[in-house]
Amino acid sequence: MHLYLHVPFCARRCSYCDFAIAVRRATPDRAFADAITAEWQARGHHPSVAEAREIATIYFGGGTPSRLAADTIAELLDRLTRDRPLAPDAEVTLEANPDDVTTASARGWFRAGVTRISLGVQSHDPAALAWMHRTHVAEQVAPAMATLRAAGLTNISLDLIFALPAELARDWRRDLELTLALEPEHLSLYGLTIEPHTPLARWTDRGTVRPTTDDRYERDYLEAHRQITAAGFEHYEVSNAARPGRRARHNAAYWGGAEYLGLGPSAHSFLGGVRSWNEREWVAYAKRVAEEGGEVTAGEERLDAEQLALEGRYLGLRTDGGLPLSELPDGLANRWVAEGWAAIAGARIRLTPMGWLRLDALVTRLAVS
């Protein structure tokens, strides 16, 4: 089985962030660990969970999971694996901010059983980091990488954001070059989007920020593809690239349609053809755990066969695995190839980077075909 833990706590909210976070000066480790344990015990009765022999992947996402004490992460991993052991080659990922990486924290994460770090770099440009309201500075990234490796954490992914507003004058090529010079095992590349109720949305509404153009978004994305593939990375999913053998196994489970269980506020699960989601806000989540013994589901939807099939096509087209040609209507594959959006290899069709830029529109075409 695959587990996701949402750790909502942050020191501040980033300007673009609409995730379910709780800004706290001090992180309530004890309350969080107890709540997660209660939810885990309550969800254990689900057949998909009860029948699982071992845990293949665990992902601590957020929020800022690195704000938890290393001892708390160790305690959580111990509690989660008492009933179902970790697979011998399990992938355990922790999202971290560069400013949270110290010799003590890195060694603690390694001892706890973390095998992979996802480091939130976002940019090496000081002005861009300040505009994003990030808590770290560019000079902390390289030392953080060195500290993680010295502690034994040698599977490191770096996050970057592209398509920032032109007025920031951020040098995207330089950001990519500096990132590749750090020799990470994995990269995640996300285009900036304007989400409601964020500082960025308010700035845009006031006219103090102009959204990036579609042309610039495309140029940034294709420049990233060019640089990372030239450096030997496999661009294996819309937003992800890895050295051979270093693909993110937890996320690959999502893209492959596997079942997974989400624990924590706002966490989503997909079990037995049902997608469910938890109470979004930490305070409401913790209150329900205390009052209802770990039952914190806020809603759910059962996907019918048609929905599952369409979602399977969407997920397949997100990756370099693509889809069988037989799943596309007659003539559509040839059109995509002619437009430069896809390539055919044997009996499968895979989207190109130009196609990935148009993924949502292409999948919509499948839905109405």
pLDDT digits (tens, 9 = 90+) for 229-275: 999 999 999 999 999 999 999 999 999 999 999 999 999 999 999 99
Does the structure show a pLDDT above 90 at 9? Answer: yes
Confidence of residue 364 (pLDDT cuts 50, 70, 90): confident
pLDDT > 70 in the chain, percent: 99
**Averaged pLDDT, 335-347:** 95
What is the model's pLDDT at position 329?
87
Query: Amino acid identity of 52?
Result: A
Q: Which two tokens stand for residue 169?
A: 């004058």
Could you give the CA distance from residue 355 to residue 323 in angstroms, rounded to a whole number? 13
Query: Amino acid identity of 331?
Result: G
91-147 per-position pLDDT tens digit: 999 999 999 999 999 999 999 999 999 999 999 999 999 999 999 999 999 999 999
Does the structure show a pLDDT above 90 at 90? Answer: yes
Average per-residue pLDDT in the chain?
95
**Averaged pLDDT, 304-311:** 92
CB contact at 8 A, 269 and 253: no
What is the model's pLDDT at position 366?
81
What is the model's pLDDT at position 369?
54
What is the model's pLDDT at position 365?
78
Does the structure show a pLDDT above 70 at 368? Answer: no
Confidence of residue 154 (pLDDT cuts 50, 70, 90): very high
CB contact at 8 A, 169 and 131: no
Tell me which residue of 77, 69, 116 sits closest to 95, measured CA to CA: 116
Could you give the CA distance from residue 44 to residue 41 in angstroms, rounded to a whole number? 5
- The whole-angstrom distance between residue 290's C-alpha and the CA centroid of its chain comes to 29
41-68 per-position pLDDT tens digit: 999 888 999 999 999 999 999 999 999 9
What is the model's pLDDT at position 294?
87
Q: Which residues contact 17 (CB under 8 A, 6 or more apart)?
A: 195, 198
**Averaged pLDDT, 316-339:** 94
Q: What structural domains does the chain harbor?
A: 2-255 (3.20.20.70), 305-368 (no CATH)
Query: Amino acid identity of 159?
Result: D
282-299 per-position pLDDT tens digit: 999 999 999 998 889 999
